Amino acid sequence: MSPTNPLPQATLEEARQFAERILAPDAFDAYVNAPVSEDEREEALRLIRWFSKRYRTPAQRLAYVRRAYARWSQPYRG
């Protein structure tokens, strides 16, 4: 591990494989139609409240998303 690459290569590879997997239609349906637990719901609402307080106006929210997208779309240099 290094400051620019805090995760072991095996972990990165496992995450890549998971993200790029192809699901059968029934597995996809089961995943997206699974009920949301009360804990998941509360966590989502907590994050929404935080984000709405941190970025109070639509313009601030859009500016954040634009900056984040610019970071996310940069090639990984690990």
Domain range enclosing 35 = 9-72
Q: Over the stretch 27-78, which tens digit does the pLDDT of each residue have?
A: 999 999 999 999 999 999 999 999 999 999 999 999 999 999 999 998 877 6
CB 15, CB 9: distance < 8 Å: no
Q: Given this model, what pLDDT does residue 1 score? A: 46
How confident is the model over 5-11, as a mean pLDDT? 83
d(CA 26, CA 52): 36
The answer as to whether 16 is a domain residue is yes
Could you give the C-alpha distances from 27 to 17, 22, 36, 60, in angstroms and in order? Answer: 17, 10, 16, 38
| Overall domain count for the chain | 1
The two tokens of residue 33 are 């139609």
What is the reported pTM?
A: 0.57
Q: Which residues contact 56 (CB under 8 A, 6 or more apart)?
A: none
> Is residue 18 a part of any domain in this protein?
yes
| Mean of all residue pLDDT scores within the chain | 91
